């Protein structure tokens, strides 16, 4: 008989980081709708929108999905460890979890053309293959991916492999028929999934972040934050220095026309350095007991990551698609950002209310129930 399915206590800082990443995701995703299917630019005289765009780019662009990849890697490692301790067939149990996460991802893909859950499923299956690696080996795999992806990104630009699925017509998304809107999302998701170059691009970035998450779980990184403040400081300042250096190299390559990035594209390095900086700064502030109300709000949202991520995409469809309010290309950039911030605020209130009455979010509950059948 398998032992009881005991769950380890949730770490507050992990849920706080999940909440922060969901804030970044909703702001960036709603901002992306501003240019969906068009070459729309922020007008030079729209100062509020230009400032909003700058803030989104500096604080949130590419920070949300990369941090989520890291946290999914951490969560997958936790789940594998729990299954190995409590289930007679842990590999099968985890694979079943990934299957049902894929089913949920397909539903989410219909809501939002840029779904990343399906990519996290692929990352989870790779982590399953390396389920027995040590913390040091997981860190080595993460660093290997970080060092490899700039070369592979540059190399993949020369690939001329056609995508078997044509880009869907934006008119489907602007249709008043729900099935047309859902078809647009599913077609876009399938096209992205079958894009050959993406596996040498941001999927490898996701894998690198996920292996870093595995390392943090197996080295008990977050559990040791209370006694290793120096480690957080070094990570915070070191990642910021790395981001500045990487950005300087990119700028120098362009200014001097060296074309080095044509062979080793480090475009994502400044973004990843900034992501680590913000995550480390949040850990530092939480460790110092700063901004307790803000962090409690982030924690509530982060405890319901799947539910809130899918809800953000549902609201996006209801606001921008023709089936909903049809506001695509009808609002200034700043209003896109304001709507994203408003939805996140509503999710804070809903998450607090829900968690006072339930142990987990509704989609998280459904995922576990499906995997238990």
More confident site: 86 or 372? 86
In a 3-state reduction of DSSP, which class is residue 121?
helix
Q: Are 277 and 236 in contact (CB under 8 A)?
A: yes
What is the pLDDT, as a whole number, of residue 73? 94
Give percent of the chain with pLDDT exceeding 90.
65
Cα separation, 321 vs 170, in Å, equals: 10
The CA dihedral of 269, 270, 271, 277, to the nearest 10 degrees, is 110
For the chain, domain boundaries: 12-372
Cα separation, 71 vs 296, in Å, equals: 18
Per-residue pLDDT for 40 more than 60? yes
What is the pLDDT, as a whole number, of residue 3? 41
What is the pLDDT, as a whole number, of residue 373? 62
Q: Which two tokens stand for residue 200?
A: 């040498």
Band of pLDDT at residue 1, cut at 50, 70 and 90? very low
What is the pLDDT, as a whole number, of residue 266? 87
Q: Whose structure tokens read 């605020």?
A: 345
Give percent of the chain with pLDDT exceeding 70.
97
Pick the closest to residue 124 from 158, 74, 82 (CA basis).
74
Spatial CB neighbours of 195, under 8 Å, sequence gap ≥ 6: 163
Average pLDDT over residues 22-37: 93
Cβ neighbourhood burial of 184 (10 Å; 0-12, 13-18, 19+): buried
Pick the closest to residue 11 from 228, 291, 302 (CA basis).
302
Return the ∠ at Cα 57 (arms to 251 and 347), rounded to 5°: 160
Per-residue pLDDT for 301 more than 90? yes
Average pLDDT over residues 89-114: 93
Spatial CB neighbours of 289, under 8 Å, sequence gap ≥ 6: none
Average pLDDT over residues 90-111: 94
What is the pLDDT, as a whole number, of residue 7? 60
The model's pLDDT over 162-174, given as tens digits with 9 standing for 90+, comes to 777 888 899 999 9
Give the DSSP letter of residue 74.
Answer: H
Return the ∠ at Cα 342 (arms to 340 and 344), rounded to 5°: 70
Q: On the CB side of 181, how many CA atoms lie within 13 Å of its CA?
A: 22
pTM of the model: 0.92
Band of pLDDT at residue 196, cut at 50, 70 and 90? confident
Per-residue pLDDT for 6 more than 60? no
H helices of 44-134, where? 47-59, 64-86, 90-111, 117-129
What is the pLDDT, as a whole number, of residue 115? 87
Per-residue buried b or exposed e for 153-178, using 16+ beta carbons within 10 Å of the residue's own CB: bbebeeeeeeeeeeebeeebbbbeee
Per-residue pLDDT for 197 more than 50? yes
The model's pLDDT over 310-361, given as tens digits with 9 standing for 90+, comes to 999 999 999 999 999 999 999 999 999 999 999 999 999 999 999 999 999 9
Q: Which two tokens stand for residue 341?
A: 């911030």
Q: Whose structure tokens read 């099968």?
A: 92
Q: Whose structure tokens read 């499906």?
A: 370
The model's pLDDT over 64-84, given as tens digits with 9 standing for 90+, comes to 999 999 999 999 999 999 999
The model's pLDDT over 214-241, given as tens digits with 9 standing for 90+, comes to 999 999 998 887 677 788 888 999 999 9
The model's pLDDT over 179-194, given as tens digits with 9 standing for 90+, comes to 999 999 999 988 888 8
Q: Are 55 and 31 in contact (CB under 8 A)?
A: no
What is the pLDDT, as a whole number, of residue 5? 45
Pick the closest to residue 56 from 334, 349, 256 (CA basis).
334
């Amino acid at each position: 008989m398998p032992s009881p399915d005991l769950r380890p206590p949730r770490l507050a800082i992990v849920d706080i980081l999940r909440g922060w990443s969901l804030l970044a995701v909703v702001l960036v995703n709603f901002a992306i709708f501003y240019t969906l299917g068009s070459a729309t630019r922020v007008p030079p005289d729209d100062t509020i929108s230009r400032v909003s765009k700058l803030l989104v780019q500096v604080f949130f662009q590419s920070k949300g999905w990369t941090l989520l990849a890291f946290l999914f890697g951490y969560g997958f490692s936790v789940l594998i460890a729990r299954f190995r301790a409590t289930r007679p067939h842990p590999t099968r149990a985890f694979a079943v979890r990934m299957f049902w996460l894929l089913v949920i991802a397909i539903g989410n893909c219909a809501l939002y053309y840029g779904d990343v859950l399906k990519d996290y499923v692929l990352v989870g299956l790779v982590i399953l293959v390396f389920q027995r690696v040590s913390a040091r080996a997981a860190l080595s795999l993460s660093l290997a991916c970080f060092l490899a992806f700039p070369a592979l990104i540059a190399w993949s630009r020369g690939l001329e492999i056609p995508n078997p699925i044509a880009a869907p017509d934006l008119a489907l998304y602007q249709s008043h028929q729900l099935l047309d809107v859902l078809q647009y999302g599913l077609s876009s998701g399938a096209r992205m999934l079958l894009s050959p170059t993406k596996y040498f691009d941001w999927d490898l970035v996701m894998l690198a972040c996920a292996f870093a998450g595995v390392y943090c779980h197996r080295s008990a990184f977050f559990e040791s934050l209370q006694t290793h403040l120096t480690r957080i400081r070094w990570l915070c300042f070191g990642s910021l220095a790395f981001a500045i250096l990487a950005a300087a190299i990119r700028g120098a390559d362009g200014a001097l026309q060296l074309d080095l990035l044509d062979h080793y594209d480090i475009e994502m390095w400044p973004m990843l350095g900034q992501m680590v900086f913000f995550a480390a700064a949040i850990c530092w502030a939480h460790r110092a007991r700063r901004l307790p109300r803000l962090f409690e709000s982030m924690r509530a949202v982060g405890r319901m990551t799947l539910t809130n991520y899918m809800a953000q995409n549902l609201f996006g469809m209801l606001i921008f698609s023709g089936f909903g309010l049809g506001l695509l290309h009808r609002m200034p950039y700043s209003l896109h950002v304001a709507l994203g911030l408003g939805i996140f605020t509503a999710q804070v209130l809903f998450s607090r209310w829900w968690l006072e009455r339930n142990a987990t979010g509704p989609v998280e509950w459904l995922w576990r129930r499906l995997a238990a059948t």
